[in-house]
């Protein structure tokens, strides 16, 4: 498997599989902005030339490496693809000046909660994070200075 930066050409392949990988409508979250404007920070993992995972994220001006959306092919789950993406993105974010990492998920996404816990993220439930009645778990992790 190989990790590389995302390209504009990856957009079609990713939006064609994301709803299946996530088990429901999610493709709207894979906005073309991430491929056209923020692609320097986004990553894919390929196996034999086929995308098996991706991470859409960016580094904020305030020094936060923000992970917006991650997708892993169902056949590649629990094989280290998510960890590989997070570790690669964290290293990239640190090189770009990030001092902390951040991601969010909906209540009930137990797999995401356990994954972030295993990676050492602090987990906080934030009421109304995404608007009234739309609580979110916020994952944060401070990074060691490089």
Residue-range domain boundaries for the chain: 2-142
Mean pLDDT of 30-36: 65
Give residue-wise pLDDT tens across range 90-144.
Answer: 999 999 999 999 999 999 899 999 999 999 999 999 999 999 999 999 999 999 8
Instruction: Write down the pLDDT at residue 69.
Output: 87
pLDDT at 36: 65
pTM: 0.88
β-bridge mates for residue 19, sequence order: none
Q: 101: which strand partners? A: 65, 141
Architecture of domain 2-142: 3-Layer(aba) Sandwich (3.40)
**pLDDT score, position 90:** 96
What pLDDT does residue 10 have? Answer: 86
Rounded to an integer, the average pLDDT of 57-84 is: 92
Average pLDDT over residues 32-41: 68
- pLDDT band for position 37 (50/70/90)? low
pLDDT at 9: 84
Q: Name which of 36, 123, 50 is nearest 81 in CA terms.
A: 50
Q: 45 near 85, Cβ under 8 Å? A: yes
């Amino acid at each position: 498997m190989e990790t590389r930066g995302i390209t504009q050409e990856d957009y079609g392949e990713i939006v064609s599989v994301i709803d299946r990988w996530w088990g429901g409508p999610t493709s709207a979250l894979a906005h073309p902005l991430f491929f056209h404007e923020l692609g320097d920070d986004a990553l894919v993992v390929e196996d034999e030339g086929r995308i098996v995972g991706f991470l859409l994220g960016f580094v904020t001006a305030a020094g936060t490496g923000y992970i917006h959306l991650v997708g892993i092919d169902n056949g590649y789950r629990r094989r280290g693809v998510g960890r590989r993406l997070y570790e690669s993105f964290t290293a990239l974010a640190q090189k770009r000046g990030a001092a902390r990492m951040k991601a969010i998920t909906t209540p009930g996404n137990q797999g995401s909660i356990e994954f972030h816990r295993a990676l050492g993220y602090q987990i906080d439930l934030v009421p109304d994070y995404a608007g009234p009645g739309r609580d979110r778990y916020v994952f944060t992790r401070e990074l060691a200075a490089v």
